[in-house]
Structure 1
Amino acid sequence: MLLVREMGEADIEAVSAVRVEGWRSAYAGLVPQTYVDAMTVGRDAAARRKRFADPHRRSADLVAADADADADADADADAGRVVGWISFGPCRAPVAGAGPVGEVFALYVRPDLTGQGIGLALLDEAHRCLEDLHFRVSTLWVLRGNEGARRFYERMGYRADGGVQDDDYDGVTLTELRYRRTLHQRRTQ
């Protein structure tokens, strides 16, 4: 049974593990291997702890936990094993003509569990939370070459809206595309 719940401090190591595994799987061949190889769960968790403790943090974080699995040593025993994570909040940059805009900052699922509805459950709950906060639109950024993620988000009702940004990864510039979705709409399957 899958449980989507608010992330707690006890989830930080498990979330970092899901994120690092997700990067290694999703961005293989897209992001320079030197950049991916330099990622560690320990460094990610240390940075995540700082962000999580920030009293001015504007993001919300949810985890998907396998409530039937034995809890691993890094997670709260009552919470189950963390198998996915999503972070969202107010959009970091204005989007012209969109009204109140939220943003999905990150969505990762354990690579061995993709395609099982975990990302869908996390995204649905994030959309519900954004709607409760009176956002009318949700945006997110996805690497141009990440075709699997682009297909997933398109099935969830997102469309590329023409926004682009470039990011540098170990001296290699990669382009991200902005996707947008009106909230309070049904996704297409």
Structure 2
Amino acid sequence: MSSHLTHIHASDGVSPPLPDVRIREMTDSDCEAVAEIRVRGWQTAYAGLVPQAYLDAMSVEGETVLRRRTLAKTAGAVVNLVAERGGKVVGWACHGPSRDGEATTADAELHALYVHPSQLSTGVGRALIQHCMTRCRASGHAGLRLWALEGNARARRFYERAGLAPDGAREPFEADGVQVPEVRYSTRLA
């Protein structure tokens, strides 16, 4: 799977997060909930954009193993956050150094932002992106970048409302031999 794909869901112009959404560091015990959110998020958001066989082959069990391995491997280099509502994990985001090919840049990159499909348009995504942007700014990053599927209109509107804009960079993501175009979004944080 692409390391670029970011799911739906700030800048100073975005409303404050809702008081019933708690953002905290992800732990190993969150991996299964995050895997469920990511798999269901892909299957919902990318239907019709990515081959259905690719989406059908995704499993929460396999994703849980991948999340545990990735969390341990990237500890310290990538910030993994979960959003809780009512004590239940309902969203996940991670950010770290921005990649431009093989090189890293001074900007941060939002590697992933996923919200459980039942929580779309409830403020969870907004709370996650605001928290990520605040942390990136506090860490000294001048900008934030992310990649989104070109055809994912909902995600693109979400990012634009959060203050990001397409910066002209494009590249394909391959799923089951099908090239799916991605566009890069960016914003200045300073």
The one-letter amino acid paired with 1:103 is: E
Pairwise CA distance, 1:55: 5.9
Aligned equivalent of 1:136, options 119, 124, 142:
142
2:114 maps to 108
Q: SS at 2:89's partner residue?
A: strand
Q: SS at 1:25's partner residue?
A: helix
CA distance in 1, matches of 2:187, 2:29: 32
- List structure 1 runs of 4+ shifted beyond 3 angstroms: none
| 2:42 corresponds to 1:23 | yes
| TM-score for the superposition, normalised by structure 2 | 0.85
CA distance in 2, matches of 1:112, 1:13: 17
RMSD over equivalenced CA pairs, Å: 1.3
CA distance in 2, matches of 1:104, 1:56: 16
| TM-score for the superposition, normalised by structure 1 | 0.85
Aligned equivalent of 2:96, options 64, 89, 107:
89
2:155 maps to 149
1:71 maps to none
CA distance in 2, matches of 1:55, 1:23: 22
Structure 2: give runs of 5+ residues left out of the alignment: 1-19
Do 1:18 and 1:84's aligned partners in 2 also have CA atoms closer than 8 Å? Answer: yes
Question: Which of these two proteins has the greater Rg computed from alpha carbons?
Answer: 1
2:51 maps to 32
CA distance in 1, matches of 2:173, 2:128: 26
Pairwise CA distance, 1:100: 2.1
Structure 1: give runs of 5+ residues left out of the alignment: 69-79, 185-189
Map Cα deviations across residues 104-130 of structure 1 (whole Å, 9 max, x no partner): 011110111100110000000001111
Q: SS at 2:58's partner residue?
A: coil
> How many residues matched?
168
Map Cα deviations across residues 35-79 of structure 1 (whole Å, 9 max, x no partner): 00010011111111111112666211110011x3xxxxxxxxxxx
The one-letter amino acid paired with 1:106 is: A
